[in-house]
Amino acid sequence: MALIGIIAGTGFYNLPALDGRETKSVETKYGSAKITPGKWNGVDIVFLTRHGRDHSVPPQAINYRANIQALKDSGADYVIAVNVVGGIDPTLKPGDLQLIDDFIDFTSGREHTFFDGIQPEGVQHVDVMDCYDADVKASLSESAGTLAIPLRTGGIYAGFNGPRFETPAEIRFAALAGATVVGMTGCPEVSLAREAGLRYGAIALIVNPAAGLSPIPITTDEISRVLSETSSRVVQIIEGALPILSCKIK
């Protein structure tokens, strides 16, 4: 049976179209995680919200290992992640959508690997050249095209600790490294998914220009406004991508 995991964060705390919506806590060897299994657009999914339904878990305190392990233990084949981000590429505007192709991890102090030398698996070195799965990206792109919703490709995600926003100097540094968007939760989630053997893809919703790229201060009120106006497009794209992606699962 095809099973797709969906991970979302700020502004995406539930999926109204999800049949079955009973959240349960599951225990993994890395701690507990809350998941909501159900069916969406005819496809079996497991939904997980990073910050909790009340946005009570800050990005640096998320148990990324438990979240990924919970999806793995649930039998997920693929994972679609949603990242709410700031735009580093000056051509990206609030409300734009971008697929992520690569990442730069500027976070610190997070449990960022399953292979820490403590677990029975021992130390392993995992290739992360193609962390963002081609099938997931193709399914999201096809869905967006069918819906006539613009979806940029070629995104490079810069991950910072948060919960504070980045400084203008940090954004300039990330831009020099080639990053196009910046967020607080994509790392180490993506590399952990790779280590766990989950085929992972991410769609980013730009909600503000990154620090120093606009004379207007970044505020949660403005982010909330953009989210309320544009998050439905992300949901529509994922809804359309689910049956496409489920057909690829052998």
Comparing 122 with 216, the larger pLDDT belongs to 216
Q: Compute the chain's Rg from CA coordinates.
A: 17
Q: What does the alpha-carbon distance between residue 149 and residue 140 come to, in Å, rounded to a whole number?
A: 11
pLDDT digits (tens, 9 = 90+) for 137-190: 999 999 999 999 999 999 999 999 999 999 999 999 999 999 999 999 999 999
Most confident by average pLDDT, 50-54, 106-110, 115-119: 106-110
What does the pLDDT read at residue 12?
73
Q: Where are the alpha helices (DSSP H) in 32-133?
A: 64-74
Measure CA 79 to chain center: 9
Closest C-alpha to 230, from 95, 97, 85, 140: 95
Structure tokens at 116: 């820490």
Given the DSSP bridges, would you call strands 199-209 and 78-87 parallel, antiparallel or unpaired? parallel
Classify residue 232 as exposed, middle or buried by CB count within 10 Å of its CB (0-12, 13-18, 19+): exposed
Q: What does the alpha-carbon distance between residue 70 and residue 162 come to, in Å, rounded to a whole number?
A: 24
What does the pLDDT read at residue 249?
73
Task: DSSP for 198-224, please give it.
Answer: -EEEEEEEEEEEPTTSSSSPP-HHHHH
**22 pLDDT exceeds 90?**
no
What does the pLDDT read at residue 14?
65
| % residues pLDDT > 90 (the chain) | 73
What does the pLDDT read at residue 53?
72
Residues 100-125 have a mean pLDDT of 87
Cβ(46)–Cβ(76) under 8 Å? yes
Residues 214-221 have a mean pLDDT of 89
- The H or E element containing residue 15 is none
Count up the domains in the chain and report the number.
1
Most confident by average pLDDT, 48-52, 122-126, 170-174: 170-174
What does the pLDDT read at residue 247?
87
Choose the weakest-confidence range: 16-30, 80-94, 164-178: 16-30
Model confidence band, residue 51 (pLDDT cutoffs 50, 70, 90): confident
Model confidence band, residue 248 (pLDDT cutoffs 50, 70, 90): confident
What range does the domain containing 98 cover? 4-246
| % residues pLDDT > 70 (the chain) | 94
What does the pLDDT read at residue 126?
83
Q: What does the alpha-carbon distance between residue 4 and residue 242 come to, in Å, rounded to a whole number?
A: 8
DSSP state of 233: H
Q: Which residues are registered as beta bridge partners of 48? A: 7
What does the pLDDT read at residue 128?
86
What does the pLDDT read at residue 127?
85
What does the pLDDT read at residue 198?
96
Task: DSSP for 149-168, please give it.
Answer: ---EEEEEEEE---SSPPPH
Residues 72-80 have a mean pLDDT of 95
Task: Say which CATH number the domain at 235 has.
Answer: 3.40.50.1580
Locate tokens 């997980």: which residue? 48
What does the pLDDT read at residue 13?
63
Cβ(5)–Cβ(14) under 8 Å? no
Closest C-alpha to 9, from 58, 64, 82, 76: 82
Model pTM score: 0.93
